[in-house]
Amino acid sequence: MWRRVASLSPLVSRSKSRLLDQVQVANGFNVWQVFSTQVLNPTEGGVSDRRRTPLVTFVLGGPGSGKGTQCTRIVETFGFTHLSAGDLLRKEISSNSENGSMILNTIREGKIVPSEVTVKLIQKAIEASENDRFLIDGFPRSEENRIAYERVIGAEPDIVLFFDCPVEEMVKRVLNRNQGRVDDNIDTVKERLKVFTELNLPVIKYYSEKGKLYKIDATGSEDEIFERVRPVFAVLR
């Protein structure tokens, strides 16, 4: 069975940068108060046994924490289908759908698109796939996202990965990303970090308390990080 480890390790070490101060805090809750859960010894009844319904992993972390990069590695090694909420939304923009301009404006401002839009896109993508293993990347980004998913899909995720990365490193990675994204600029990044702290950290805390969260140190090389991710999925083979 899933086992929770009692040790409550802070998500990130304290740092005193100005940017960090700007993005910290929301409603009396802040990044330092979230704790991780480690799962030891998954055996009978664990995620490896649930093969009839799709196996869903939510992949969370701030902008630039390396979610997409590590998802690619997980897909290559463990055969998941990668559904990036951001990519699905960007596809909607480029396909000139009726929601396209609303989505574009929301992303440009660093805010979160209404849950019904995003959940529908995820649902469609799951239904269109023959796979039974999904990485849902960048979702849920808020409690509203999480609740809408549970309502529409009627299930909870099996695993939640959280890529834990210092703010300075996330900012550096985003500003160097070079993919021509409208939201990869310093002003929007500040807003996205604020939104992450205020709306996404409560989701991370929720899954931590449910015993589903794997906190991954997202510093170091891509290879080093993947070696921290690998054991989470190795038990599923």
Ligand X SMILES: Nc1ncnc2c1ncn2[C@@H]1O[C@H](COP(=O)(O)OP(=O)(O)O)[C@@H](O)[C@H]1O
Closest contact distance (angstroms) between CB of 179 and ligand YYY is: 9
Q: Is 225 in the site for ligand X (CB under 6 A)?
A: yes
The SS3 of residue 234 is helix
Is 64 marked as binding a ligand? yes
Binding mask 24-63 for ligand YYY (x = CB under 6 A): ---------------------------------------x
Contacts of 166 (CB under 8 A, 6+ apart): 12, 13, 15, 219
x/- contact string, 174-203, with ligand X (CB under 6 A)?
Answer: --xx--------------------------
| Residues paired with 134 in a beta bridge | 56, 81
Q: Give the residue closest to ligand YYY by C-beta.
A: 86
- Interface residue with ligand X among 63, 110, 140, 157 (CB under 6 A) is 63
Burial classification of residue 207, based on how many CB atoms lie within 10 Å of its CB (0-12 exposed, 13-18 middle, 19 or more buried): buried
Would the annotation count 52 as a binding residue? Answer: no
| Single residue of 23, 34, 56, 85 touching ligand YYY by CB under 6 A | 85
Helices (H), 37-177: 67-78, 85-94, 100-108, 115-128, 143-153, 167-175
Query: Does 57 interact with ligand X (rule: CB under 6 A)?
Result: no
Name residue 20's amino acid: L
- Fill in the per-residue mask, 107 to 126: x = in contact with ligand YYY (CB under 6 A), - = not in contact: x--x-xx----x--------
Q: Does 64 bind ligand X (CB under 6 A)?
A: yes
89-124 b/e with 16+ CB inside 10 Å = b?
Answer: bbebbeeeeebbeebbebbeebbbbebebbbebbee
Binds ligand YYY (CB under 6 A): choice among 92, 138, 149, 204: 138
Residue type, 234: A
107 binds, among ligand X, Mg ion, ligand YYY, none (CB under 5 to 8 A by kind): ligand YYY
Angle between helix 67-78 and helix 222-234 axes, rounded to 10 deg: 50
For tokens 């979702």, the residue is 139
66 annotated ligand-binding residue: yes
Residues that bind ligand YYY (CB under 6 A): 63-64, 67-68, 84-86, 89, 106-107, 110, 112-113, 118, 138-139, 141, 145, 183, 192
Q: Which residues bind Mg ion (CB under 5 A)?
A: 67-68
